[in-house]
Amino acid sequence: MRMKLHSSIKPPDLIGPRTIGSALDTLASKLKFGLLLAPSSKMSAQISKKRKFVADGVFRAELNEFFTRELAEEGYSGCDVRVTHARTEIIIRATHTQEVLGEKGRRIRELTSLVQKRFKFPENSLELYAEKVQYRGLSAVAQCESLRYKLLGGLAVRRACYGVLRFVMESGAKGCEVVVSGKIRAARAKSMKFTDGFMIHSGQPARDFVDYAVRHVLLRQGVLGIKVKIMKGWDPEGQTGPRKPLPDSVQILEPPVDKVISEPTSEQREPIPVAAPAPAAEEYSTENVQQPEAYAEQPVF
């Protein structure tokens, strides 16, 4: 005997690629209403904080992956998302901003249209800007992409890595480390590490001072992995590095310079005027003081 299920009861969905893709689309749509647009919308009140953080992370990861693929040749180094009450602004950091903008702003308009359609933004609510990387020698992502295109162009691994090391150290970095792993020459995979300067590997200062990037290169013999780590220096202005120095840094002050006298000398100074001493107070003695008769000693009985 067959039983008819109630219309409100649905069987559980099978977990697969399509299900995961639809879940990501749902998160992106929820993010659009919950985070990226005005926080006064009704959907923002319905979505929990945990789902907001998850949706925000999914959005930023997918956006970064899209720009990494599309703007690899333009020296893409990252992006920032700023949410205002009226619209959402995405700032793209790259080494070649003119190529990101395109001829008469055509390329940036194409990217804006693609992002707007992918995440279902309303019209005129999304703006994309291009910002030039001021110190590309201190950006691990930019140097990793540069090394990647050098290897794709057929340059030798050792020569390409030493060129990156030299450019990074000339840009003012404290240290640099480049690791290339894979089938470099022979059929056996190996790793080649190139280091220069000072590098830290643990603790919170490693997160604050070290910029890290990983890229992959598909060559004829296989896939090569590239890791670039750049140790930045302390900068009080915060442009080329963190504002706070390393916790173990010690600043040694120079001793004061003493005046060395080679020959005896004499100096003539004007006399200092001295004020006259104040008159001394009169001293009263009690030896010859006569007491009146009323205060004379009386016999004690």
User: Residue 287 falls within a domain, yes or no?
Assistant: no
| pLDDT bracket for residue 298 (50, 70, 90) | low
Q: What is the pLDDT of residue 174?
A: 93
The overall pTM is greater than 0.75? no
Q: What is the pLDDT of residues 29-73, one digit of tens each?
A: 544 444 444 344 444 457 889 999 999 999 999 999 999 888 888
User: Residue 240 falls within a domain, yes or no?
Assistant: no
Crossing angle of the two packed helices 17-31 and 49-70, in degrees rounded to 10: 110
User: Last residue of some domain: 231, 247, 269?
Assistant: 231
Mean pLDDT confidence for 1-20: 42
* More confident of the two residues 203 and 43: 203
Residue 157 has pLDDT above 60, yes or no: yes
Q: What is the pLDDT of residues 253-265, one digit of tens each?
A: 998 888 777 777 7
Q: What is the pLDDT of residue 159?
A: 94
Parent domain of 164? 137-231
Task: Give the max Cα distance, the chain.
Answer: 143
Mean pLDDT confidence for 193-205: 93
User: Last residue of some domain: 201, 231, 261?
Assistant: 231
Query: Which residues contact residue 122 at a Cβ distance below 8 angstroms, ignoring those fewer than 6 apart?
Result: 37
Same domain, 43 and 123: yes
Query: Closest Cα partner for 111 from 74, 143, 162, 139?
Result: 74
Q: Count structural domains, the chain.
A: 2
Same domain, 212 and 116: no
Structure tokens given for 153? 């162009």
User: Last residue of some domain: 190, 211, 231?
Assistant: 231
Please tell me which of 200-214, 255-269, 283-297 the model is most confident about, judged by mean pLDDT. 200-214
Q: What is the pLDDT of residues 223-247, one digit of tens each?
A: 999 999 999 988 888 888 888 889 9
Same domain, 144 and 223: yes
User: Domain containing 59 — which CATH number?
Assistant: 3.30.300.20
Q: What is the pLDDT of residue 62?
A: 93
Rounded Cα distance between 56 and 141, Å, is 22
Q: Which of 89-93, 268-272, 281-285 has the lowest mean pLDDT?
A: 281-285
Structure tokens given for 76? 């893409």
